[in-house]
Amino acid sequence: QQKAILSGIGSQVPETVITNKDLERLVDTNDEWIRTRTGIHERRQAASGQAASDLATEAAEKALATAGIEASDLGAIIVATSTPDMIFPSTACVLQKNLKAFNAFAYDLSAACAGFLFALSNGAQYVESGVCRHVLVVGVDLMTRIVDFQDRNTCVLFGDGAGAVVLSGSEDSQGLLGTQLGSDGRYGDILQVPAGGSRIPLTAETFPLRQHYIQMNGSEVFKMAVRAMEQAALNLLENTDTPLSAIDWLVPHQANRRIIETLGKRLQIPSEKVFMNLQHYGNMSAASIPVALDEAWRKGLIEPGQLVLMLAFGGGLTWGASLLRW
């Protein structure tokens, strides 16, 4: 059976930087609170008129270049996002058009901040089963489009970005070793965007209620995120017969420094093996893991042959753990 290896990677964040000081002018918050509670110093914001597919296209072009393949070689394009360009066509179809990847089928996948690991697992199955030779997997979110800049509980946490990987078939390399995914719809209301869908369509009446923005119970999310990611990691390591000591890098979803530190301690992974870039970007939802992977690789931190554990958690609730031999 073919293995799905990560043959290409790229990322793109918008130019505009929003610092904590900038947010002090919008809501009753301060740089010190944001840094100590979250670890975030700044985040990026897409320019007006810029959409998810624009950042996704730039990230994907870099990923194709590092993989050394043409867009026409792609058999599938999967885009994980909660902030698509529009309801339909899917952002994946817009991306397909931009890349001229006309031999691929393309669709979006919705699993909030855990979306990238869901899409990665999905893409790997097309490769392992021989349905596709190359699959483009993208995580992209423009979270600043759906955060309420009047709500200090949420607006300080999020940012915009895109990350992309190419999965390719290989008979001798190891690549993606396993994935553990989970969901629990009973807790959907602790992190949600209630309006804008079919239950509460966005109208002149619903607009003033601000329900088309993210609503979050931060402390509940915090607790459940740590618990779910820890359990997913332990299950995955057991299923793949991997001792914790074999992990070279933990690349977790970049939501909050304290969540990541708690997770690292519970899993007994030393902090020098934990990659963090949330100080510069905040929580980019589905983009956070592929952007972090790309940065860690381009900085020369992740090296060929190393074992990388990725952990994610998001609204739904959704969560996942993936193990990758780089």
- Tell me the two tokens of residue 283: 């929580």
Shortest Å distance, C-beta 18 to ligand ACO: 13
Neighbour tally for 25: CB within 10 Å? 7
Question: What is the token pair recorded at 324?
Answer: 């990758």
Give the footprint of ligand ACO on this chain (CB under 6 A).
29, 33-34, 37-38, 113, 152-153, 156-157, 191, 216, 218-219, 221-222, 225, 253, 255-256, 283, 313-314
Report the residue number, 34 or 136, with the smaller CB distance to ligand ACO: 34
Nearest CB to ligand ACO, comparing residues 37 and 227: 37
Query: CA 197 to CA 204: how far, in whole Å?
Result: 14
Q: Which residue is nearest to ligand ACO (CB)?
A: 218
The CB-of-252 to ligand ACO minimum distance in angstroms stands at 9
Q: 37 or 266: whose CB is closer to ligand ACO? A: 37
Q: Of 113, 122, 132, 256, which one is the catalytic site residue?
A: 113
Choosing from 20, 122, 256, 283, the catalytic residue is: 283
The residue type at 245: S
Pick 2 or 29: Cβ nearer ligand ACO: 29
**Beta carbon of residue 103, minimum distance to ligand ACO (angstroms, whole number):** 34
Q: What b/e sequence results for 84-116 when a residue is b if at least 16 CB atoms lie within 10 Å of its CB, and e otherwise? A: bbeeeebbbbbbbebbebeebbbebbebbbbbb
212 is catalytic: no
Distance between CA atoms of 57 and 53, rounded to whole angstroms? Answer: 6
Nearer to ligand ACO, 97 or 227 (CB): 227
283 is catalytic: yes
DSSP-derived pairing of the beta strands 318-325 and 176-183: antiparallel
Specify whether the CB–CB gap between 308 and 295 falls below 8 A: no
User: In terms of CB distance, is 196 or 218 closer to ligand ACO?
Assistant: 218
d(Cα 286, Cα 273) in Å, to the nearest integer? 22
Q: Give the span between the Cα atoms of 260 and 314, in whole angstroms.
A: 14
235 catalytic? Reply is: no
Please tell me the distance from the alpha carbon of residue 319 to that of residue 308, in angstroms, as a whole number: 17
CB of 7 to ligand ACO, least distance (A): 28
E strands, 93-159, are 105-109, 134-142
The strands making up 307-314's β-sheet, listed across from edge to edge, are 176-183, 318-325, 307-314, 249-252
* Catalytic residue from among 93, 132, 253, 280: 253
Annotated catalytic sites, by residue?
113, 253, 283
